């Protein structure tokens, strides 16, 4: 980075610059620590988080990029810079990478002369300050117009991380995928081309070389991360017996290795409810029959009385999974817990125009009982996740794929199911 950039101090950032950086990062400026501007993450349910530090020189480059109308992408973590015909994607690396220092000699890259200015060349970039080698892979189209590169990030994708454990802000880096086109490109066109090139490049890296990278979907807005219930501050000796399989299912959404696998989390909690359906259903049937038997006008000599029992059992036998769910929720989940949950601000998630289509909206003012609305919603959503598109029985609901736009916005529904699962486990102990 240019030497004069290092000499920047806080005085070189105007209030307007700072708010511009706030918009660019979706974070809030807090303070300056040494050569870093520190930005705070949104408040997460009272958990105090330490901010992310951005070095002055990176902040200057970011501002320049924003001024030439570079912007963050909406679907993926990364930036699009139309004036330069440049796109940078953040990456997830999913497995051991065979492209390591020791093995780097075995790889060669299809590179042709090009007009871009690349900060580093394959196979490695050496970072003197940290004595670290970072892999660099680059390929060029044969006429030299387009380059694809995986290398340490530019200022645009500077990793927004909290300080180290000793409270110090240090310069960090991450590998990103960069797409360089021939020059200024209209944004829509640039995004489309970048996606196509990224898809092909990452597919071939995996298929031909077992280097498994994927684009990092842009995480949902902070509003969606709110917890569905309050957190108790008193840790007690446990009293809730939990069967093995339920314990396993309940632990899946908390597994950080599975982070982001929202459809799996949804189904894990759903399976907990399913586990209790038969028992609760039986219990409810027995209760109904007992009520008939105890009625003062019940007369075992009369056919009509006996038929009442028969009807009740038959109805119960033919109950669909949706009806059983409704009974389970009605019986095991206190209605005030549901009301409390929906009274929280979910950013319109459960309303009619919420982000998840093809499911029941929740309306506290509609005449329909809350357990019934909730049962319909969670069952419809479950069907959208598990049923293939060509199943005629569910022709009206389109399949909801993992990592799709909707899947990444499932958090409030997962929180709802978590609440139901907890109440059902507690009620059935
Ligand atoms: Zn190039």
Rounded to the nearest angstrom, the distance between the alpha carbon of 191 and the centre of ligand 1 is: 18
How many A from CA of 108 to the centre of ligand 1?
16
Whether 370 shows a pLDDT value over 90: the answer reads yes
pLDDT band at 8 (very low <50, low <70, confident <90, very high): low
Q: Three-state DSSP class for 414?
A: helix
Which residue did the predictor score with more confidence, 389 or 187? 187
pLDDT at 223: 42
More confident residue, 245 or 12: 245
Q: 198-256: per-residue pLDDT in tens? A: 999 999 988 888 888 888 887 655 444 455 566 778 888 888 889 899 999 999 887 76
Domain extents in the chain: 1-67, 80-156+173-218, 223-427
Expressed in angstroms and rounded, the spacing between residue 114 Cα and the centre of ligand 1 is 5
What pLDDT is attached to residue 5? 46
**Distance between Cα 130 and ligand 1 center (Å):** 26
Q: State the distance from the centre of ligand 1 to the C-alpha of 68, rounded, in angstroms.
A: 21
**Distance in Å, CA 112 to ligand 1 centroid:** 8
Between CA 265 and CA 258 the distance in angstroms is 9
Nearest to 157 by CA among 134, 133, 174: 174
Choice among 253-257, 314-318, 347-351 with the minimum mean pLDDT: 253-257
Q: What local confidence, expressed as pLDDT, does residue 394 receive?
A: 57
What is the distance in A from the centroid of ligand 1 to the CA of 110?
11
User: What's the pLDDT at 211?
Assistant: 86
Residue 72, pLDDT above cutoff 60: yes
What is the whole-number distance in angstroms between the Cα of residue 141 and the centre of ligand 1?
9
Q: Locate 278 and state its tokens.
A: 């038969």
Task: Give residue 395's pLDDT.
Answer: 58
Cα–ligand 1 centroid distance for 138 (angstroms):
8
Q: Residue 420 and residue 117: Cα distance in Å, rounded?
A: 55
- Please give the distance, rounded to the nearest whole angstrom, from the Cα atom of residue 246 to the centre of ligand 1: 53
| Spacing, Cα 404 to ligand 1 middle (Å) | 32
CB count within 10 Å of CB 258 equals 13
Inform me whether the pLDDT recorded for 2 exceeds 50.
Answer: no
The number of beta carbons lying within 10 Å of the beta carbon of residue 221 is 11
Give the pLDDT of residue 229. Answer: 63
Token pair for residue 186? 């209209």
Mean pLDDT of 355-364: 92
Interval 107-139: pLDDT, tens: 899 999 999 999 999 988 888 877 888 889 999
What number is the average pLDDT over the span 300-305? 89
For residue 150, the CA-to-ligand 1 centroid distance in Å is 12
Radius of gyration of the chain (CA): 28
Question: 0.75 cut: is pTM over it?
Answer: no
Is residue 376 predicted with pLDDT exceeding 80? yes
Please compute the mean of the pLDDT values over residues 352-366 and round it to a whole number. 92
Instruction: Using the predicted structure, report yes or no on whether residue 6 has a pLDDT greater than 50.
Output: no
The pLDDT value recorded for residue 95 is 61
Task: Please tell me the distance between residue 307's alpha carbon and the centre of ligand 1 in angstroms.
Answer: 82
pLDDT for res 166: 84
Q: Is 70 exceeded by the pLDDT of residue 335?
A: yes
Q: Which of 280, 383, 407 is nearest to 331 (CA)?
A: 280
- Quickly state the pLDDT bin for 188 (edges 50, 70, 90): very high
Percent of the chain with pLDDT over 70: 89
Task: Tell me the CA–centroid distance for residue 147 and ligand 1, in Å.
Answer: 5
CB 90 within 8 A of CB 156: no
- Quote the ligand 1 centre to 113 CA distance (angstroms): 7
Going from the Cα of 115 to the center of ligand 1, the distance in angstroms, rounded, reads: 6
SS3 200: helix
Structure tokens belonging to residue 396: 């009206």
Q: What is the pLDDT of residue 391?
A: 56
Q: Which of 37-41, 92-96, 170-174 has the lowest mean pLDDT?
A: 92-96
pLDDT value for 349: 93
| 165-170, Cβ contacts within 8 angstroms, sequence gap of 24 or more | 169/33, 169/34, 169/36, 169/38, 169/53, 169/55, 170/53
Given this model, what pLDDT does residue 12 score? 80
* Confidence (pLDDT) at 44: 54
- pLDDT, the chain, mean: 87
Ligand 1 mean position, distance from CA 75 (Å) = 25
Q: What is the whole-number distance in angstroms between the Cα of residue 90 and the centre of ligand 1?
A: 19
pLDDT of residue 361: 95
| Percent of the chain clearing pLDDT 90 (strictly above) | 48
CA of 118 to the centre of ligand 1 (A): 6
Lowest-pLDDT range of 3-7, 59-63, 395-399: 3-7
Q: How remote is the CA of residue 201 from the centroid of ligand 1, in Å?
A: 15
Are the beta carbons of 79 and 64 closer than 8 angstroms?
Answer: no
Question: What pLDDT, on a 0 to 100 scale, did the predictor assign at position 3?
Answer: 45
> Is the per-residue pLDDT at 67 higher than 60?
yes
The rounded distance, in Å, linking the Cα atoms of 146 and 199 is 15
pLDDT at 96 > cutoff 90: no
What counts of helices (H) and strands (E) characterise the chain? Answer: 11, 12
Q: Residue 396: which pLDDT band, with cuts at 50, 70 and 90?
A: low
Distance 144 CA to ligand 1 centre (A): 7
């Amino acid at each position: 980075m240019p030497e004069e950039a290092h000499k920047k101090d806080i005085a070189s950032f105007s209030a307007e610059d700072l708010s511009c950086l706030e918009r660019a990062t979706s974070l809030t400026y807090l303070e300056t620590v040494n050569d870093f501007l520190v930005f705070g993450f949104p408040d997460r349910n009272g958990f105090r988080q330490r901010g992310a530090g951005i070095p002055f020189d990176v902040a200057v480059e970011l501002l320049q990029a924003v001024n030439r109308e570079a912007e963050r992408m909406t679907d993926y973590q990364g930036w699009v810079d139309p004036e330069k015909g440049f796109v940078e994607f953040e990456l997830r690396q999913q497995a051991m990478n065979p492209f390591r220092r020791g093995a780097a000699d075995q790889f060669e890259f299809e590179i042709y002369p090009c007009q871009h200015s690349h900060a580093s060349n394959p196979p490695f970039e050496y970072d003197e300050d940290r004595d670290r080698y970072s892999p660099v892979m680059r390929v060029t189209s044969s006429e030299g117009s387009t380059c694809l590169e995986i290398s340490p990030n530019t200022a645009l994708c500077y990793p927004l991380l909290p300080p180290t454990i000793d409270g110090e802000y240090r310069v960090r880096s991450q590998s990103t995928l960069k797409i360089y086109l021939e020059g200024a490109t209209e944004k829509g066109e640039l995004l489309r081309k970048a996606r196509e090139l990224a898809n092909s490049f990452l597919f071939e890296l995996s298929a031909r070389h077992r280097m498994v990278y994927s684009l990092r979907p842009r995480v949902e807005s902070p509003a969606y991360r709110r917890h569905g219930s309050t957190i108790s501050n008193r840790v007690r000796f446990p009293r809730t017996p939990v069967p093995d399989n339920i314990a396993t299912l309940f632990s899946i959404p908390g597994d950080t290795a599975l982070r982001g696998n929202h459809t799996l989390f949804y189904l894990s909690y759903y399976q907990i409810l399913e586990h209790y359906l038969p028992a609760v259903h039986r219990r409810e049937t027995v209760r109904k029959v007992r009520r008939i038997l105890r009625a003062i006008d019940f007369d075992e000599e009369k056919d009509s009385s006996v038929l009442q029992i028969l009807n009740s059992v038959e109805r119960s036998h033919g109950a669909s999974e949706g009806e059983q769910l409704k009974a389970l929720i009605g019986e095991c989940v206190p209605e005030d817990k549901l009301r409390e949950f929906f009274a929280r601000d979910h950013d319109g998630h459960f309303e009619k125009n919420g982000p998840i289509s093809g499911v029941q909206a929740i309306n506290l003012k509609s005449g329909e009982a809350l357990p019934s609305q909730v049962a319909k919603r969670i069952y419809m959503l479950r069907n959208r996740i598990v049923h293939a598109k060509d199943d005629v029985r569910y022709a009206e609901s389109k399949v909801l794929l993992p990592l799709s736009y909707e899947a990444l916005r499932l958090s409030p529904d997962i929180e709802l199911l978590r609440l139901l699962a907890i109440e059902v486990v507690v009620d059935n102990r």
